[in-house]
Amino acid sequence: MAAEIYSPTLSDALVILGAAGIVIPLFTRFRITPIIGFILVGLLVGPYGLGAHVRSYPWLVHVTITDPNRLEPFAELGIILLLFTIGLELSFDRLWQMRRQVFGLGLLELVLCAFAIAAAFVALGERPTAALGVGLALAMSSTALVLRIADPRTPVGRAALAMLLFEDIALVPVIFLLGALAPRARGAGLDSLFETLGLGLLVIIALLAAGRFLLPRLFAQAARTKSPELFLAASLLVVIIAALATAGVGLSPIVGALIAGLLIAETEYHGEVETIIAPFQGLALGIFLITIGMGIDLWTVWQGLGSILLATVCVLLLKAVVTGLLLRLTGARSGMATETGILMSSPSETTLIVLSTALSAQLISPETAWFWKTVAALGLMVTPLLAMLGRRLARRVDVTATEPQEPPPERHAIIIGFGRVGRLVADMLAAHDQPYLAIDSDADLIRQGRADGYRVAFGDASHSRALERLSAGHATAVILTMDEPVAAQRLVRKLRGLYPELPIFARARDAAHAAQLYRAGASDAVPETLEASLQLSEAVLVDLGVAMGPIIASIHDKRDTLRAQIMEEGELAEKPRLKSASLGERAGLRAPVRPEPL
């Protein structure tokens, strides 16, 4: 009966989602990177772990993955989405600024590491072609893991990103070079290489031209629907089309994914795309890490443990020394060079691809390919530990040096909602030289606001990731101007939960709504009906000839009285309340300035 209801797809999904639900919280609690956890899950549930005992215990079929090939498409999607998000964080201007690092430092790192490893193999008696194949494979470093560990805003992260980008670009020429070295294909591979590079260049130019013209319109239409599902579908569509286009001419699909990210980074929708795609990227990368663990046969590794550990240590040391010395020669600090060299020392997921290519080209034997694939898998597994070791050694090497820090982000007010009220608030802030950033989910309002010179971006503040991306925790204030009472109340509650000290100003429809906003955690809630009534009263009194001074005093007294009543209704009268200083007061002005009515 169990065999009749068994579904491999559902069983694999159960294992993957169960691993994500258990591994991430558990390892995060103990401050251990989930990378190791996913690899260990792969070891446990793979064909060399519990999967090897399915025949003896049939129920294990529901908690194991016996066919790693079923997961390969999802693992490849994880790497594609990773390169796509890297493109989103970059821009064409930043990539152009990095061109010397990518094609200078990246080229030297790959060539020198491959040459050093190949030379060691030749010294041990290996054939030059076989030594070159293994050397190029092991010289690769893991894009999927290193860029998850290293922050691209730090010197270490920038250097690693440059070298990894070149390795990803060089993957196709490396594969063609190994094919050209095959005994029966000498010379033929170079013609194919030039043809592929020519077609690839045309495809890249076509993608750049089409993306510049089509992507802003595509995402504007998706944004008008206010449907997150359609926005996600449009993002995935762009990534997959670009990846298929480059893969179709023989280039790596990750090149297309990187270009798609760069193109979307030039639009005002890049932040929302990054927020929506992040959970899928994380899950797909988890699947990739599980497949790495599934490829490790612990029993076979145990039988040859001494030689495998020795080979792994030698590769790690050689790559770390070569990369570190190269960075020192290019002017990097000794601590930064040490940390980057150790971080980049582990092999890569692309190492497995290059070793398979060398095996197909008959440059190496199956036994050699298996041995170095095992070394690569073991190196991937210890990459997070290498990162920790690199940071500690860097601090010891540079005892007196200080790590260059990125300048802190500019503190500004965040205006959520850019309708008539949001635009007026932006005008008032700009008039008093207070920096701000406005966000809205209406594409037409965004386009018109940018055309009029406002600092406004597309975004949905209901997503916690969007608030993190906006650095809401460092904002001078958050001003909610949307005319959606329930959504405003939920957002105030979320903001207060995430950022207890954040000043939050909210637009309210009436006194009852203002009281609800106070209960949710608003610092100040301004009812439209109250302000409209006070302004109408002021206009009437002025027209009746009452002096302006007493009018202003009475208006202020009435506003304070009504606000106290609203706060009491909001159950804040007897509670210590977050001080609602004005924007001008927080900006450092000498006298407090009463917030303008929203």
- Structure pTM? 0.65
- Strands (E) in 183-251, as ranges, are none
Tokens of 166: 């070149």
Tokens of 130: 């076989």
Residues 46 and 85 in one domain: no
Q: Residues 137, 365: contact at Cβ < 8 Å? A: no
pLDDT at 408: 53
Tokens of 229: 């599902």
Average pLDDT over residues 535-561: 78
Amino acid letter, residue 531? E
End position of a domain, from candidates 47, 62, 77? 62
Distances (CA, A) of 409 to 412, 450, 470, 503: 9, 21, 10, 18
pLDDT at 578: 42
The verdict on residue 591 lying in a domain is: no
Higher pLDDT, 396 or 139: 139
Percentage above 70 pLDDT, the chain: 87
**Could you give phi then psi for residue 259, rounded to 5 degrees?**
-65, -40
Higher pLDDT, 396 or 580: 396
CA gap 426, 445 in Å, rounded: 14
Q: Residues 455, 511: contact at Cβ < 8 Å? A: no
Residues 348 and 374 in one domain: yes
Tokens of 478: 């958050």
Residues 176 and 272 in one domain: yes
pLDDT at 316: 93
DSSP 101: I
Residues 340 and 365 in one domain: yes
Range of the domain at 14: 2-62
pLDDT at 321: 93
Average pLDDT over residues 188-202: 69
Longest dimension (CA), the chain: 105
Nearest CA to 509 out of 492, 491, 486 is that of 486
Tens digit of pLDDT for each residue in 514-524?
A: 888 888 888 88
**Could you give phi then psi for residue 414, rounded to 5 degrees?**
-110, 120
Average pLDDT over residues 574-598: 39
**Could you give phi then psi for residue 572, rounded to 5 degrees?**
-115, 0
Residues 365 and 510 in one domain: no
Q: Residues 417, 481: contact at Cβ < 8 Å? A: yes
DSSP 419: S
Distances (CA, A) of 205 to 199, 256, 494: 10, 11, 44
Residues 366 and 479 in one domain: no
pLDDT band at 119 (very low <50, low <70, confident <90, very high): very high
Residues 52 and 104 in one domain: no
The verdict on residue 504 lying in a domain is: yes
The verdict on residue 410 lying in a domain is: no
End position of a domain, from candidates 351, 379, 397? 397
pLDDT band at 579 (very low <50, low <70, confident <90, very high): very low
CA gap 382, 142 in Å, rounded: 12
Helix (H, G, I), strand (E, B) or coil at 573: coil
The verdict on residue 422 lying in a domain is: no
Residues 208 and 326 in one domain: yes
Average pLDDT over residues 544-569: 77
Higher pLDDT, 396 or 565: 396
Residues 41 and 73 in one domain: no
Tens digit of pLDDT for each residue in 233-263?
A: 888 888 889 988 888 887 778 778 888 888 8
pLDDT at 571: 61
Using CB atoms within 10 Å of the CB of residue 558, give its burial: 0 to 12 exposed, 13 to 18 middle, 19+ buried: middle
Question: For residues 249, 251, 253 and 255, what is the CA-based torsion angle, rounded to 10 degrees?
Answer: -120
Residues 462 and 518 in one domain: yes
pLDDT band at 81 (very low <50, low <70, confident <90, very high): confident
Q: Is it the case that residue 182 has pLDDT exceeding 80?
A: no
DSSP string, 499-543: -TT--EEEEESSHHHHHHHHHHT-SEEEEHHHHHHHHHHHHHHHH
CATH code at 444? 3.40.50.720
Residues 107 and 226 in one domain: yes
Tens digit of pLDDT for each residue in 475-503?
A: 889 999 888 888 888 889 888 888 888 89
Nearest CA to 506 out of 472, 468, 478 is that of 478
Tokens of 422: 């949001």
pLDDT band at 315 (very low <50, low <70, confident <90, very high): very high
Separation of CA 587 from chain center: 32
The verdict on residue 412 lying in a domain is: no
Q: Which residue has the tokens 């805003």?
A: 153
Helix (H, G, I), strand (E, B) or coil at 321: helix
CA gap 96, 103 in Å, rounded: 11
Q: Which residue has the tokens 């179709």?
A: 248
Tens digit of pLDDT for each residue in 1-13?
A: 444 555 677 777 7
End position of a domain, from candidates 355, 376, 397? 397
Average pLDDT over residues 156-180: 81
Residues 54 and 92 in one domain: no
Q: Is it the case that residue 112 has pLDDT exceeding 90?
A: yes
CA gap 266, 260 in Å, rounded: 10
pLDDT at 582: 39
Nearest CA to 598 out of 521, 518, 526 is that of 526
CA gap 372, 203 in Å, rounded: 34
Q: How many residues does the chain have?
A: 598
Domain count, the chain: 3
Q: Is it the case that residue 405 has pLDDT exceeding 90?
A: no
Helix (H, G, I), strand (E, B) or coil at 438: strand
Q: Residues 347, 139: contact at Cβ < 8 Å? A: no
Average pLDDT over residues 515-537: 81
**437 Cβ partners below 8 Å, 6+ apart?**
412, 413, 414, 415, 455, 456, 457, 470
CA gap 576, 289 in Å, rounded: 49
pLDDT at 573: 45
Average pLDDT over residues 348-355: 80
Higher pLDDT, 29 or 343: 343
Q: Is it the case that residue 547 has pLDDT exceeding 70?
A: yes
CA gap 141, 167 in Å, rounded: 8
Distances (CA, A) of 20 to 17, 35, 232, 279, 378: 5, 11, 21, 11, 21
**Pairing mode, strands 504-508 and 436-440:** unpaired
Higher pLDDT, 409 or 236: 236
